[in-house]
Amino acid sequence: MWLYYILIYITAVFGIANTLINILMDKKSEIGMLMAMGTSRKSITKIFLIESTILGAFGLLLGLVLEYFTALAIGSHEIELPAEMYLVLTCMPMKIAAMNFFYASIFAFTINMIAGVYPATKASKLDPVEAIESI
């Protein structure tokens, strides 16, 4: 079961990193201009980490809303279990716990920040002249 979770999280990391790398490619010339005007590599990294944080916060809010309504929908219907396989249980027990939302939120936000590090460092290592020429 843990293998499935790991694969889901790896897919999420690649999706977030891919989105940020696409933003990086779109703003390559702007980054080159900032660097040509004297912006430090550390500041460029901070800009992309802040952008990653903002995108992650919006995604987290949307995910929490969708997760809540999905949990309510699943919790309102009983899922019957076959009696041949499950002798004791007749239906699948559903429990909506606030701590599950909290843990999922913290984990998703942490994954988002980890995924944002690579594009941020890649943006800070761009050559200003090459980035400006890409216009």
How much is the pTM?
0.75
In this predicted model, what pLDDT tens digit does every residue of 32-51 receive, in sequence order?
A: 899 989 999 999 999 999 99
- Closest to 53 measured CA to CA, from 107, 106, 113: 113
For 49-69, the three-class secondary structure string (H helix, E strand, C coil) is: HHHHHHHHHHHHHHHHHHHHH
Number of domains in the chain: 1
pLDDT band, very low/low/confident/very high, at 135 (cuts 50, 70, 90): low
In this predicted model, what pLDDT tens digit does every residue of 60-104 receive, in sequence order?
A: 999 889 988 988 888 777 778 887 787 777 777 777 788 888 888
In this predicted model, what pLDDT tens digit does every residue of 16-29 receive, in sequence order?
A: 889 888 988 898 88
- Range of the structural domain that residue 77 is part of: 2-133
> Angle 7-2-82 (CA atoms, 0-180°, nearest 5)?
110
